[in-house]
Structure 1
Amino acid sequence: MTRLEAVLGDITTEQVDAVVNAANSALLGGGGVDGAIHAAAGPALLRECQRLRETTHRTGLPVGDAVATGAGDLPARWVIHTVGPNRHRGQTDPALLASCFTSSLRVAREVGARSVAFPAVSAGIYGWDSAEVARIAVAAIRGDTDATGGIDLVRFVLFGRRVLADFEQALAPASGSGPD
């Protein structure tokens, strides 16, 4: 059974097998989590992303998909890049957001990762409400045992207390007598 937890912290310092990067489709760095991961990982990460753009992902990474690279100077072994939907561009389908989490876990499993740290993909600059991201992420991960098979730990590493509270609420056991 995969353990899910939420912590306040800096994803670039996580001692996990893989960290998930809330990337843009170009895969070449950006702002927010993407910029922080690229800065902490150093030039090796950018070189790997450039190789992806020259070979398997010439047109970039589609929204909802995921791809792995090495992690450069990060404590993690891999970076799993995923592109979240951007509400400001009309990308409002919750299934696209859910796919970011399940696709990332499938890729993590393929490379042999057993522990994975996620940011709040699409919250922030991409316009999704963090409570909605939390609900969708937790439901997607809990609902897809194929994606989580072999993954021991999923840790949501969140930058702000409000976002942490949203994820803690989404992770809390359902109240009432109905099923979870």
Structure 2
Amino acid sequence: MHKIKLIQGDITTIAVEAMVNAANSSLLGGGGVDGAIHRAGGPEILDECRKIKNRQGGCKTGDAVITQAGHLPADYVIHAVGPFWSGGNNHECELLRKTYQSCFDLISQYGIKSVSFPNISTGIYKFPKELAAQIALDVIKKSLAEHPEIQQVNICCFEPESYQIYLSMVSR
């Protein structure tokens, strides 16, 4: 667990090699973390997202794409599209797991050593926060075991409720 750091605060202010954005499938910005990353990063991020959207039609749920980080304190932004929660009977857990795994596939491909994750799908996508945290931690721990070259994974919780959920899980 020494490579996992729990942070309560604004993901856009934490210096890392890659920052994960809880994006929507259009990749063109939105609310919550997505809006904050696009605002703080500047127009370069949106320009690259538009190019990806034009090339491949956006990003499917469970997948991730990578861009430069613009004005953010990072080299890259990994735009990850998590699932909308619709009761749990539409493979939401598997899709969220795939979303985190897609991020780690890019982290490995680009040789990234430090990354910050937000709480993917728990805002307007309404994924239950405890369940999302357990899935995130499972994938993060598995990925760290498989990729010892990754030095630090930050879990950035903007709101105190999510921070407390993660705190109770990592201190077990």
Is TM > 0.5 for Structure 1 vs Structure 2?
yes
Aligned length: 171
Unaligned runs of 5+ in 1: 174-180
The answer (yes or no) to whether the contact 2:62–2:99 under 8 Å persists in 1 is: yes
Q: Which residue of 2 aligns with 1:140?
A: 139
Q: Which residue of 2 aligns with 1:83?
A: 81
Q: 1:48 to 1:138 in 2, by over 3 A?
A: same
Q: Residues 66-105 of structure 1, C-alpha deviation per residue, up to 9 Å, x if partnerless? A: 1110001101110001000001486453111111112102
Q: Which residue of 2 aligns with 1:127?
A: 126
CA RMSD of aligned residues (A): 1.9
**Farther off after superposition, 90-99 or 17-26:** 90-99
Residue 53 of structure 1 pairs with residue 53 of structure 2: yes
User: Scaled by the length of structure 1, what TM-score is found?
Assistant: 0.88
Sequence identity (%): 40
Unaligned runs of 5+ in 2: none
Residue 48 (structure 1) shift: 0.4
AA aligned opposite 2:161: R
* Structure 1: distance between partners of 2:146 and 2:95: 15
Structure 1: 4+ residue segments shifted above 2 A: 88-93, 143-150
Q: Which residue of 1 aligns with 2:95?
A: 96
Question: For 1:1-180, what aligned pairs fall within 5 Å after superposition?
Answer: 3-55=3-55, 57-58=56-57, 60-88=58-86, 91-145=90-144, 148-173=147-172
Q: Which residue of 2 aligns with 1:177?
A: none
